[in-house]
Amino acid sequence: MKAPGSTKLLEVDDLRKHFPIRRGLFSRVSSKVYAVDGISFDIAPGETLGLVGESGCGKSTAGKAILKLTDPTSGRVKLRGVDITDLSPGEMRQYRRELQVIFQDPYSSLNPRMSAGAIVGEPLTNFQIAKGQEVEDRVAALFRRVGLRPEQMRRYPHEFSGGQRQRLGIARALAVNPSLIVGDEPVSALDVSVQAQVINLLMDLQDEYGLSYLFIAHDLAVVEHISHRVAVMYLGKIVELTDRASLFLEPLHPYTEALLSAVPQPEPPKTARKRERIILKGDVPSPINPPSGCRFHTRCPYAFDRCKVEDPAFEEVKPSHWVACHLRGN
């Protein structure tokens, strides 16, 4: 069932994930953590969408809800126009071939008691893509593709370095020929030189197979390198969504501005406009009791009265440049 005229690979519409906090004798729900509170975006085939934000802003929860590793509270997730939000685990299985994941921690994301070859081959046997010797051959090909040697198939995860383990994670995600890979901070646990190798590998794979990525990260430099478009999240909401160039050249949301001003510059510009360092006051408010109105008003240097009471709408203020801020909207 393909929606007519749908060219989007993934569509996320008003996705929410609230975690109830239960207290007391009868486990009453006393409050909720608004981890993801209404986010919408889409990803086209072959596109990389970067999702950035501070820790605790709900990036990873959003990724898990899209993968249905956790059930979203409300909202819709559509894959090639097919609504996968309410599918049972059994019905979801066939869509998992299209939707894969790479985790942040290359240590805990591989079963310590399985050999590297068995880990990468598991999705192949799950979907009966290959059998017996064919599994071996395909796993060997995947090993070569991600820059590992097929002889390493019999080794166990602890015998690999962090970067090699992350390559194993990528090989496992690639095994079923997915169309979208959710990367949940896939490089933030690696050191900088290895990060570059892994990111280049991901970009090569994108060119080769036409993959789409939802690239979750907190490192803006990494996101700038890999993404076509970038979404900035703050306390469970997307505050700005636009293509890479306009986000980094003319950010419209004060939070994005502050984030960008914190990126260290390898060569401080001499003649070009010197960026002013914007230092935000205080910490991210708790997602249990998010501030009223605009969630950023408690730390925003430009906040005015309206921000405290009215939640700004997420609007397209320039062509394909979406932002949620009273300063920019109407």
Q: What is the DSSP string of 49-80?
A: EEEE--TTSSHHHHHHHHTTSS--SEEEEEET
Question: Which residue matches tokens 């401080």?
Answer: 268
Does the CA dihedral 103-38-51-93 come out positive or negative?
A: positive
- Order of strands across the sheet that contains 180-184: 99-102, 180-184, 212-217, 48-52, 229-234, 237-243, 321-323, 315-318
Q: Please choose, from the candidates 95, 1, 76, 74, the residue with its C-alpha nearest in 3D space to the C-alpha of residue 32.
A: 74
Residue among 42, 73, 107, 201 that touches other proteins (CB under 8 A):
107
Cβ nearer to other proteins, comparing 113 with 270: 113
**Alpha-carbon span 324 to 327, nearest angstrom:** 9
Cβ nearer to other proteins, comparing 114 with 278: 114
Does 109 engage in binding with other proteins (CB under 8 A)?
Answer: yes
Residue among 4, 5, 112, 269 that touches other proteins (CB under 8 A):
112
Kindly report the backbone phi and psi dihedral angles of residue 221, in degrees, each rounded to the nearest multiple of 5, phi listed first. Answer: -65, -45
Pairing mode, strands 212-217 and 180-184: parallel
Does 97 engage in binding with other proteins (CB under 8 A)?
Answer: yes
Task: Return the range that interacts with other proteins (CB under 8 A); candidates 5-13, 112-120, 202-210, 260-268.
Answer: 112-120
Least separation in angstroms between CB 120 and other proteins: 10
Task: Tally the C-alpha atoms within 13 A of residue 45's C-alpha that lie toward its C-beta.
Answer: 10
Least separation in angstroms between CB 93 and other proteins: 5
Partner residues linked to 267 by β-bridges? none
Least separation in angstroms between CB 232 and other proteins: 25
Instruction: Answer whether 230's CB lies under 8 Å from 49's CB.
Output: yes
Residue among 75, 169, 236, 312 that touches other proteins (CB under 8 A):
169
Cβ nearer to other proteins, comparing 22 with 149: 22
Does 161 engage in binding with other proteins (CB under 8 A)?
Answer: no
- Order of strands across the sheet that contains 10-23: 28-43, 10-23, 74-79, 82-83
Residue among 19, 156, 209, 248 that touches other proteins (CB under 8 A):
156
Does 122 engage in binding with other proteins (CB under 8 A)?
Answer: yes
Considering only residues 170 through 189, tell me which ones interact with other proteins, judged by CB under 8 A.
Answer: 172-173, 175-176
CA–CA distances in Å: residue 175 to residues 71, 126, 202, 314: 25, 11, 14, 37
Residue among 1, 25, 249, 279 that touches other proteins (CB under 8 A):
25
Does 105 engage in binding with other proteins (CB under 8 A)?
Answer: yes
Residue among 157, 186, 236, 312 that touches other proteins (CB under 8 A):
157
Residue among 4, 5, 89, 266 that touches other proteins (CB under 8 A):
89
Task: Return the range that interacts with other proteins (CB under 8 A); candidates 12-20, 131-139, 156-164, 305-313.
Answer: 156-164
| Interface positions with other proteins (CB under 8 A) | 22, 25, 27, 64, 67, 69, 89, 93, 96-97, 99-101, 103-105, 107-114, 122-123, 126-127, 156-159, 169, 172-173, 175-176
